[in-house]
Structure 1
Amino acid sequence: MDSKLVCMYYCFIVFILVLANEVGGQLEGRVFDVTNFGAVGDGKSDNTKPFRDAFANACSYTSGSSMMLIPKGTFMVKSAVFKGPCKGPIEFRLEGTIKAPADLVGDDKWVAFRYFNGLSITGGGTFDGSGETAWHNKHCRKNSKCLPVSIRLEFVDNAVVSGISSLNSKFFHMSIYKSSNIELDGITITAPADSPNTDGVHISNSYNIRILNSSIATGDDCISLGTGNKNIFISKVKCGPGHGISIGSLGKYEGDTDVSRVTVQHCTLTRTQNGLRIKTWGSDIKLKVYNITYDDVIMDDVYNPIFIDQKYCPSGDCDKSKVSSVQIQDVWFNNVRGSSKSEYAVKFLCSSEYPCNNINLRDINLLYQGPEGPAKSSCSNVRGSASATQNPHPCILESSSLACPVTSSSWISLIPIGLVWLGQ
């Protein structure tokens, strides 16, 4: 080989090695492995301080993005709050398992992320809340702040949570509060069907939130959308067991605000207590729920597949003279199909003072097999439209303001809105 070519070849090799070394050094410099700060993944040692120290260094890194790495192993961590803002975007990479102590009670949080702009939680690892040790704590039943939420995102903007799992939370698995531009993709949430208050994802006072390609099995709502949310997009989520995908409850607390622009599509709910549910309390608190779209949703043995409940009272001791002041309007149920575990597959129990308006059913096919006969629908104080396939037979009142074609059931629009109609 020509000596010049040999020289060029070896020079190129040296250049590649130097470049690799520099890149590796930069990568190593921005990765803060918790084990380098004293963390031990034996499932027993208290790693709270090493985690906090690793995060403090990652957060103060000034040469670009940084990573806090939790490698393979089981790391016991007590309550930990990771608080920004940081000097740059930060990745919380969980490859192993973070485990909560069995006796972690008396706090409303376990792992919390606050005040970030640019955050990713990745790695395929697991947050294990050890909830089975606390679900039946009698003291905690009387104190809503007794049991911690496993993962809290508060005042977080521009974040991605991808590929991680949450197991057996003591209370909610994940809470998103006053945050924006958050994407949850490919997450797995698991707790037994009888575990109390283990909502999968609870969102409040947030906007531009996306939940995609995920599996949620809990003892409460798979996804619950509380007050003040807008632009929520839920797609390709498998839910069950649990209480379904819920908007609400709303109207219980002063300060509750509107919920709008929610889309739920391409989802499957299996053996859940409810399917697509909007729930409000009887009270004088006024707000609106509007621009809600449910599209292409499969129900598999779901007890209340389509349910608007404006008489929500889980404890049974509510003041029955109180009527909900929440206005629900502009809701679309499109292509909802499958099987109902209850006789009434479609139920609209709306407020007599603020009736549901412009509630639209299109291509509904929900089958029920039981001694009561085929599936039925139940309506009170609701106006809207029903078109294409309708099983059960719709009982919704046609809205005079809608430019809908006359149907064989349009005569029911003559019924006073205050009456209840049962369709079969």
Structure 2
Amino acid sequence: MDNTRIFYLMMMIVHLFFFFSVGICKQFVVTDFGAVPDGKTDSRKALETAWQRACQTPGGSVLVPRGSFFVSMADFYGPCNGPTLFEHRGTLVASADPTLGERDHWITFDEVDGLTVFGDGVLDGNGALSWSRCGGLARCRQQLPPATLKMNYVTNSMVRGVRLINSKMFHVIIWASDGVWVRGVRITAPADSPNTDGIHIGDSNNTRITGSRISTGDDCISIGEGCTGVNVTRVRCGPGHGISIGSLGKYPSEGGVERVHVRNCTFLGTENGLRIKTWAQSLSSTVVSGVVYEEIEMRGVGNPILIDQFYCPGGSCQPGGESSVEIRGVKFANVWGSSASLASVSLKCSRTHPCRDIEFVGLNLTRGGRPTIALCANADDRFGGSGQIPSRCS
């Protein structure tokens, strides 16, 4: 058993021991503090008050019962007096306002250790108006729409079972956190909803995403700068833009991305599958290394394997120059299924910082039952074994 699995197993044991030892009897129900399940009355104060009481109480737990609760915004601050539960059984509905008063998030957990958010409840970002106003972000650059759920400086915590729908922008942001496990969640937004990434991770360590289904208008999972130790397992992605590392190099002083492991995942009709994207020209020189993709199924995916070091979404950058982000030590093992394009593997690497040690083992990617090809530029690539499709770079 690797160190990451041991870490998460121990985290679960500690949480269970704590709650069984103190007894889960200190539960604070949001309706007892004035929350009204009519879908209209703002229940922000009730939720925040219930959280404050639970956070201050050893073994404290918040309960959102069945029903539809309108919440203008909510901030759940720590540190707390021990591990804390947030049981979500109802539906929280956001305002249709695309900006929410110039906030970058709707609901946040901040500086909490030992948090467990669980249940079969729904977080409804109510994002349709934002999508129509902010398509491509060109009209919203001064104030981006808010994410649905932001976990900020959160440690040793879990989000399990909840459903997130129709976010105005990203559904989940995990930022500056350590030891967060997202398990068995369902994230859904229309395929044409712009910038509705499922889960975005930034500046965080030891993040795990397992057993989840993500269908959005952008990346199912995006791994941003400063991330180490990301494990993604048994995720069904699609529609959407795939699982991406990046984009990197857009801003100065960005951190690198190390030790990413994506395995046993399925991509269903996504624009991309496994993607690493960096900007040219880059404003920072950083490194992507120690990345393993294995046991991956593609079903009608546009670009199953893509390294793009000339990333420029919607023509939003000045063309020319090279990426200064170095990509090295990336392995693709046992990636199979169907590609929607002839080139199932595309490596568009920087001329000044070529991709190094890119390995392919056990590929079997076809298009309409026929073999696909690999197109590679400025890459040190190795195709190991026999009978791979594709078997080499063209």
Name the TM-score, length of structure 1 as normaliser.
0.84
Of the three residues 72, 77, 80, the one matched with 1:83 is 77
Task: Answer yes or no: is the 8 Å Cα contact 1:337–1:366 preserved in 2.
Answer: yes
Deviation at 1:104, TM superposition (A): 5.2
Greater displacement, 113-122 / 308-317: 308-317
For residues 318 and 366 of structure 1, do their structure 2 counterparts lie closer, same or farther at Cα, with a shift above 3 Å needed?
same
Residue matched to 1:393: 391
**Residues 366, 392 of structure 1: 8 Å contact kept:** yes
Select 2:169's aligned residue among 156, 168, 171.
171
* Residue 228 in structure 1 maps to residue 222 in structure 2: no
Query: Aligned to 2:384, what secondary structure does the other structure show?
Result: strand
- CA change 1:104–1:311 in 2 (3 A) is closer
Distance 1:354 1:90 in 2: 46
In 2: Cα distance, 1:144 partner to 1:204 partner: 21
- Kindly tell me: are residues 321 and 128 of structure 1, through their superposed partners in 2, closer, same or farther at Cα, counting changes over 3 Å? same
Q: 1:179-215 deviations in whole A, cap 9, x for unaligned?
A: 0111111000000100000000000000100000000
Q: Which runs of 5+ in 1 are unaligned?
A: 1-22, 396-422
The answer for the alignment partner of 1:108 in structure 2 is: 104
Partners of 2:91 and 2:98 in 1: CA distance: 17
Report the Cα distance in structure 2 between the residues aligned to 1:290 and 1:146, rounded to whole angstroms: 31
Residue equivalent to 2:299: 300
| Equivalent position of 1:351 in the other structure | 350
Alignment of 1:213-252 (within 5 A): 213-252=211-250
Deviation at 1:319, TM superposition (A): 3.0
* Offset of residue 321 of structure 1: 2.6
Shift of 1:343: 1.3
Alignment partner, residue 361 of structure 1: 360
Aligned match of 1:309: 308
Given the alignment, which residue of 181, 190, 195 partners 2:193? 195
Find the counterpart in structure 1 of residue 128 from structure 2: 132
One-letter code aligned to 1:38: G
Deviation at 1:56, TM superposition (A): 1.3
Contact 1:284 1:323 in 2 (8 A): no
Evaluate the alpha carbon distance shift between residue 99 and residue 317 of structure 1 in structure 2; reply closer, same or farther with a 3 A threshold: closer
Q: Residue 110 of structure 1: CA displacement?
A: 0.2
Match of 2:264 among 261, 266, 278: 266
Q: Deviations over 1:47-82 (max 9, x none)?
A: 011111111111111xx2110110000111011111
CA contact (8 A) 2:82 2:114 kept: yes
Supply the distance in 2 between the matched residues of 1:162 and 1:132 (Cα, whole angstroms): 26
- Kept in 2, the 8 Å contact 1:284–1:322? The answer is no
Question: Which position in structure 1 is the counterpart of 2:4?
Answer: none
The 1:317–1:88 alpha-carbon spacing in structure 2 relative to 1, beyond 3 Å, is: closer
Asked which structure has the greater CA Rg, the reply is: 1
Secondary structure at the counterpart of residue 329 of structure 2 = strand
Deviation at 1:45, TM superposition (A): 1.1
Q: Deviations over 1:341-382 (max 9, x none)?
A: 011110000000010000000011110139xx7422100000
What does residue 338 of structure 1 align with? 337
Equivalent pairs counted in the alignment come to 368
Following superposition, the deviation at residue 87 of structure 1 comes to 1.4
Cross-structure match for 1:380: 377
- The answer (yes or no) to whether the contact 2:98–2:127 under 8 Å persists in 1 is no
Distance 1:145 1:317 in 2: 17
Does residue 185 (structure 1) correspond to residue 179 (structure 2)? The answer is no
Report if the CA contact (8 A) 2:169-2:196 is conserved.
yes
Q: Partners in 2 of 1:144 and 1:306 — Cα distance?
A: 34
Matched residue of 2:289: which SS? strand
C-alpha separation in 2, matches of 1:204 and 1:146: 17
Residue pair 2:24, 2:59 contacting (<8 A) in 1 also: no
Residue type of the partner of 1:205? D
Distance 1:170 1:138, change over 3 A: closer
1:34 paired residue number: 30
